[in-house]
Amino acid sequence: ECSTLSFMEQLVQFSDSELALFWLAYRNSGYDRGHLVPAANHKGSQEAMDETFSLSNMSPQVGKGFNRAYWARVERFIRNLTQECEDVFVVTGPLFLPAPVSQAQQTSKTPQWVMNYPMIGRAPQLVAVPTHFFKVVLAEHKKGNEVEFSVAAFVIPNAEILPDVPLTSWLIPIEHLEAASGTLFFPATLTPQRRASLGQAEERFIKKIGRVENQTLLIEGTSATLEPKQKLSLDIRNSKIQELSHLCERMQCALSADKFNKQLKSDDVVVIEEA
């Protein structure tokens, strides 16, 4: 079963009228109410599917070319992993990443990085629009009595993305994502020894696909020394884990293309808006 953990774990209590303002912030904003936990993952229970439409599971996402297309294909890719793996665990969340200041704008007194993102709604009930979204995938594979795991971390910009851009374009070393998000992913499973092995696998695969190191890290130098504030643990039978590999080395990290794109034609997309 594919289970996705929402990154927004700490919920703030608002009155109904305040929640209505946050909900209405999306109206005519140009952004979709993007799901972190996909509704399609919970078709087995109407109650579980309804819960994915809560505001705590939503974040502003670019609609055309992202939420209704590329991001949906990423979600489908992960669901398909459940047909090949014993178990699939996913952590999904928003990111706010700085952009480098152009050399033309830099002086000895200006910073090298700048944080810039839009906000929607009406003050003071504003909703911040993430610059990126991430997914960390931990897949379990069984070989007889042995258990093997593969891991991959993706950071994808919240923007319209051409359909032929490969999923591997958004791979990032998991420790870089942890530094940027302030979260330690799966610490019970990713022990220091296994992290070293995973780091080698990440470097090996990134070189294999022709990426250079500075392309793998969008946020290098911004938070590398940050101590993770949260630990997303997972109780897995550590004693039985024989191997830890990179997901994209073990399996083909490719999005479904033509068939799924045809399903996502604008005429076929149903967008639910409030009256």
Catalytic residues: 35
CA distance 193 to 219: 25
Measure the CA angle with vertex 39, ends 37 and 42; round to 5°: 95
DSSP state of 8: -
Listed in order, strand segments (DSSP E) in 22-118 are 31-35, 58-62, 87-95, 99-100, 113-114
Number of C-beta neighbours around residue 196 at 10 A: 11
CA distance 21 to 35: 18
Task: Report which of 94, 73, 59 is spatially closest to residue 162, judged by C-alpha positions.
Answer: 73
